[in-house]
Chains A and B, each alone.
Chain A
Amino acid sequence: MKKEKFDWKNPSKKQWKQIHAWTRTIIQIFFFVMMPSIFTTAFSGVKYIFTRIGTGEAVSMTAFVTALAAICLYTIVFGRFFCGFACAFGSVGDWLHALYLWINKKAGKKKPWKPDRQLMKWLSYVKYAVLALIVILCFTGFYGKTSGWSPWDVFSMLRSGNLRLAAYIPGLILLILIFAGMFVEERFFCKVLCPMGAVFSLLPILPLYALFRDRQNCLKGCSACTRMCPADLELPERGSFHASGDCFQCQKCIDTCPKGNVRCGVKEVKGNELLFTLIRAIILFALMKLAGV
């Protein structure tokens, strides 16, 4: 796939779309195999900080805190590229949803069932409650007593082939529910429940590599990018500072826009999206290796 592309002088729009989709899948598989624990490690940083403050101990730069700081800095500069391309949990969700779409296609259903958009919008605030709840549990020292409940622990255990799940039945049930959600709704977990996503959403993402659109060039009444967006975002006007913390940087909108209006703040990137994606993936990988994940 990759080799062919360089032989073509001018891949068609559709072919570019395929190239980008495959590149994303390959990067996701790479991170899933090489670094499946970035999410849990970084979030352990959040838990660690509040547990320590709760017990009145100093917060030292442990491996968890370093990973948390590194991923937050990366996200401030590059947006939530990690979510779209490197998170093991998100990747599994994407594959589950792809399976859902494939089944629908085979069954001859043109429009697969989707949860109500307005409902999803309201539900997307739940993640802040999840974050607040975990932080409070850590601070008060109760988190240790909920060990069998974490669906992320169960996910990590399954991934590493650790199948002694007897003490993790509540977590396993939650995980199955989450996967069911991810199956019918693209990025259900990331939008609604992910506490790390809540942290990312609260970060001030620089308007450099975040995605914007030139609205005045849009076709009248067109909402192709919003309909394609897993987070249902209406991208901000280029030049503004309203980069949304809910954008996963999946970049599907770039190829979806019939007018090619979607691009990031730095204009040199336009047309070099593939190269830039690879560079970001390499920087992320190197950074996480340095941080000791």
Chain B
Amino acid sequence: MKQFLMKWVNVILIVGLIAGYNLILSSRAQAEEVLRLQAELDSANLKLENVIEENEWLKENAALFAAASTSARKDEDTEENQEDTLYTAGTYTGEAQGFGGLVKVAVTVSDREITDITIQSADNEDTAYLTMAVDIIPAILSAQSADVDTISGATFSSTGIKHAVQQALEKAVN
């Protein structure tokens, strides 16, 4: 009986500790978020003040700068035209070895961006591992590159996704 109760206390303690740990982390994250937003707001206010000042200054000197700014704009235009596009827009597929077999993905790109990645098939991957592994997709999208860290705990499946995306991007590159 004593041992039985002890085991219950242990289990409750462990679950409680993990829950408490999560709670602390989320409250910390919230506090950080508040600070970050505050800082953003401050810098935005500062910028606004600067812009207002600049505006007034520009108004005063409008005539003087008119000629200079038109020539500057011309430069910008030519620069933009010269910039190369990264990809040929479209949807490309790629495949690579995952844990138990081939993982196939479809990657959609615009001229310059990877816009979407979907898994077309991954029949031999374990579901639990695959659901972990797909976390690599947002990482790839935000890095705009397949060269990101794999998901620990689901190394095989996420490596499969990564390599499949790499293969697809090779096809998409100009």
| A residues whose Cβ falls under 8 Å from a Cβ of B | 37, 41, 44, 47-49, 51, 53, 56-59, 62-64, 67, 144, 147, 156-157, 160-162, 164, 202-204, 207, 240-243, 245, 291-293
For B2, the closest partner residue in chain A by CB is: A241
* Residues B25 and A57 in contact, CB atoms below 8 Å apart: yes
Chain B residues in contact with chain A, CB under 8 A? 1, 3-5, 7-8, 10-11, 18, 21-22, 25-26, 29, 97, 99-101, 124, 126-129, 131-132, 152-153, 155
Beta-carbon nearest neighbor of B24 in chain A = A58
- What chain A residues lie within 8 Å of B7 (beta carbons)? 202-204, 245
| Contact A293:B126 (CB < 8 A) given known A160-B100, A203-B11, A241-B1 | yes
User: What's the dominant secondary structure at chain A's contact region?
Assistant: loop
CA distance A147 to B150 in the complex (A): 13
Min CB–CB distance A2 → chain B (angstroms): 30
Least Cβ–Cβ distance between B27 and chain A, in angstroms: 11
Cβ contact within 8 Å between A240 and B1: yes
- In the assembled complex, which residues on chain B have CB atoms less than 8 Å from the CB atom of A160? 99-101, 124
Are B25's CB and A41's CB within 8 A? no
Can you pick out 7 interface pairs between chain A and chain B where the beta carbons lie within 8 Å of each other? A56-B25, A59-B21, A63-B128, A144-B152, A204-B11, A291-B128, A292-B128
Contacts of A58 in B (CB 8 A): 22, 25-26, 29
Q: A residues within 8 A CB of B18? A: 49, 53, 59
Contact call A41/B152, Cβ cutoff below 8 A: no
State in angstroms the CA–CA spacing of A41 and B10 once bound together: 23
How far is A79 from B1 in the complex, measured between Cα atoms in Å?
Answer: 17
Q: Which residues of A contact B101 (CB under 8 A)?
A: 160
Taking A48-B153, A58-B25, A204-B8 as known contacts, 11 extra A-B pairs with beta carbons closer than 8 A to each other, sorted by chain A number, are: A37-B129, A41-B128, A44-B153, A49-B18, A58-B29, A59-B21, A64-B132, A160-B124, A202-B11, A245-B7, A293-B127
CB-CB under 8 A from A203, the residues of chain B are 7, 11
> Is the Cβ of B4 less than 8 Å from the Cβ of A204?
yes
Closest 5 CB pairs of A and B: A204-B7, A160-B100, A63-B128, A241-B4, A41-B128
Q: Which residues of A contact B5 (CB under 8 A)?
A: 204
Bound-state CA distance A241–B18 (Å) is: 27
Contact present for B131 and A63 (CB under 8 Å): yes
> Given the complex of chains A and B, what is the CA–CA distance between A47 and B155 in angstroms?
13
- Known contacts A63-B132, A160-B99; is A292 also within 8 Å of B3 by CB? no
A9 CB to closest chain B CB, in angstroms? 41
Report yes or no: B10 in contact with A202, Cβ–Cβ below 8 A: yes
| Docked CA distance A102–B129 (Å) | 38
B129/A41 in contact, CB under 8 A: yes
Distance A67 CA – B153 CA, assembled complex (angstroms)? 14
Give the residue name and chain of the A residue nearest to B10 (CB).
Answer: A202
CB distance from B31 to the nearest CB of A (A): 14
| Distance in angstroms between the alpha carbons of A161 and B123 in the assembled complex | 13
The reply to whether A241 and B132 form a contact with Cβ atoms under 8 Å apart is no
Min C-beta distance of A216 to chain B, whole Å: 20
Q: How far is the CA of A3 from the CA of B7 in the complex (A)?
A: 43
| Chain B residue, CB-CB nearest to A36 | B126
**CA of A204 to CA of B10 in the docked complex: distance in angstroms?**
9
The distance from the CB of A139 to the nearest CB of chain B, in whole angstroms, is 13
The docked-state distance in angstroms from the alpha carbon of A49 to that of B124 is 26
In the assembled complex, the Cα of A169 lies from the Cα of B65 at a distance in Å of 73
| A242 x B3 contact (CB < 8 A) | yes
CB neighbours (8 Å) of A44 from chain B are: 128-129, 153
- Residue of chain A at shortest CB distance from B4: A241
Among residues of B, the one whose C-beta sits closest to the C-beta of A57 is: B25
Of chain B, the residue at the smallest CB distance from A55 is B152
B13 → A minimal CB distance (Å): 12
